[in-house]
């Protein structure tokens, strides 16, 4: 039987009390994911700490620009699907208008959790009224893509790569925040999703998914220079400008498309649960990374 059929409470061991670091200086807030020993895989603890950090930066008038970074070798390996800190069955105070998820049966549990922690949070962070920059090095996989994509600008080091392998691994049509076909031309988005292979930063830049690619040792100074420029500009102008482009994406149907695909995503979770007894088809962080290594040769 699936672990989602009956709600349960599971012991969680967090390796850190600080899954996100926050530093504000010269008008720039640096929000750094801080689970480097697990390649910054995103558990609930980190999600709510990110939300705290983004709220803090939003509410501080001295902050004019926000950078999202990942400590260590990689930006983010995606959602936590297998560390001791995986907290799928842990209840956090909901930030959006959703009921508790841990006491819900079957597919309702994950549907409720992901409405809040993945789709809802990402949309909320995309709408932060200040410019945001993702500073990406190393791996940016699946759930990691969602975090980079909600930022206004993406600067990547030349060793960065982007990948959404959930269709080949789990039979799920992409991660919960389905921006793939907005970030990439449709045929490239299909390739990205169907084959689930790594896309280099250089190739991502060609499609406009990444703004700039720089050598690893110039990543921070490049981001810092862009952030400093934004921090020196008019606050309202920056806000209106990002809203203007976000609005154009909405007119192109981004929100409606995401809502539709979110339900396909959950249909696939439920199918996995029914057929394989596990909503993510028995994939763990370890097995996913072994498959990835094979795919990368």
| Residues binding Zn ion (CB under 5 A) | 114
User: CB-wise, 27 or 78, nearer to Zn ion?
Assistant: 78
User: CB-wise, 80 or 114, nearer to Zn ion?
Assistant: 114
User: CB-wise, 4 or 28, nearer to Zn ion?
Assistant: 4
User: CB-wise, 200 or 271, nearer to Zn ion?
Assistant: 271
User: 3-class secondary structure for the chain?
Assistant: CCCCCCCCCCCCCCCCCCCEEEEEECCEEEEEECCHHHCCCECHHHHHHHHHHHHHHHHCCCCCEEEEEECCCCCECCECCCCCCCCCCCCCCCCCCCCCCCCCCHHHHHHHHHHHHHHHHHHHHHCCCCCEEEEECCEEECHHHHHHHCCCEEEEECCCEEECCHHHHHCCCCCCCCCHHHHCCHHHHHHHHHHCCCEEHHHHHHCCCCCEEECHHHHHHHHHHHHHHHHCCCHHHHHHHHHHHHHHHHHCCHHHHHHHHHHHHHHHHHHHHHHHCCCCCCCCHHHHHHHHHHHCC
Please state the closest distance from residue 283 (CB atom) to Zn ion, in A.
12
Q: What are phi and psi of 9, to 5 degrees?
A: -110, 140
Please state the closest distance from residue 2 (CB atom) to Zn ion, in A.
14
Please state the closest distance from residue 253 (CB atom) to Zn ion, in A.
22
User: CB-wise, 114 or 116, nearer to Zn ion?
Assistant: 114
Please state the closest distance from residue 136 (CB atom) to Zn ion, in A.
22
Buried b (16+ CB within 10 A) or exposed e, 260-271: ebbeebbebbbe
Please state the closest distance from residue 77 (CB atom) to Zn ion, in A.
16
Query: In which order are the strands placed within the sheet that holds 199-200?
Result: 139-141, 161-163, 199-200
User: CB-wise, 114 or 164, nearer to Zn ion?
Assistant: 114
User: CB-wise, 130 or 269, nearer to Zn ion?
Assistant: 269
């Amino acid at each position: 039987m699936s672990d989602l059929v009956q709600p349960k409470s599971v012991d969680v061991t967090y390796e850190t009390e600080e899954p996100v670091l926050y530093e504000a200086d010269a008008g720039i807030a640096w929000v750094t994911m801080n689970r480097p020993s697990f390649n910054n895989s995103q558990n609930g603890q980190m999600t709510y700490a990110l939300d705290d950090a983004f709220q803090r930066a939003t509410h501080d008038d001295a902050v004019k620009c926000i950078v999202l970074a990942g400590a260590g070798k990689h930006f983010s390996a995606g959602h936590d699907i297998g560390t001791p800190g995986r907290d799928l069955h842990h209840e956090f105070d909901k930030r959006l208008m959703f009921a508790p998820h841990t006491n819900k049966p079957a597919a309702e549990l994950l549907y409720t959790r992901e409405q809040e922690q993945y789709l809802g949070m990402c949309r909320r962070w995309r709408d932060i009224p200040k410019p945001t920059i993702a500073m990406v090095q190393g791996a940016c996989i699946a759930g990691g893509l969602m975090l980079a994509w909600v930022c206004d600008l993406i600067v990547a080091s030349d060793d960065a790569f982007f990948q959404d392998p959930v269709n080949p691994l789990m039979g799920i049509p992409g991660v919960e925040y389905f921006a793939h076909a907005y970030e990439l031309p449709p045929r490239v988005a299909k390739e990205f999703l169907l084959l689930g292979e790594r896309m280099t930063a250089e190739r991502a830049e060609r499609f406009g998914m990444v703004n700039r690619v720089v050598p690893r040792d110039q990543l921070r100074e490049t981001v810092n220079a862009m952030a400093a420029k934004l921090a020196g500009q008019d606050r309202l102008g920056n806000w209106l400008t990002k809203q203007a482009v976000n609005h154009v994406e909405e007119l192109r149907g981004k929100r409606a498309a995401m809502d539709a695909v979110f339900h396909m995503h959950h249909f696939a979770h439920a199918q996995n649960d029914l057929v394989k007894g596990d909503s993510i088809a028995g994939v763990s962080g370890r097995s996913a990374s072994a498959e990835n290594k094979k795919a990368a040769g």
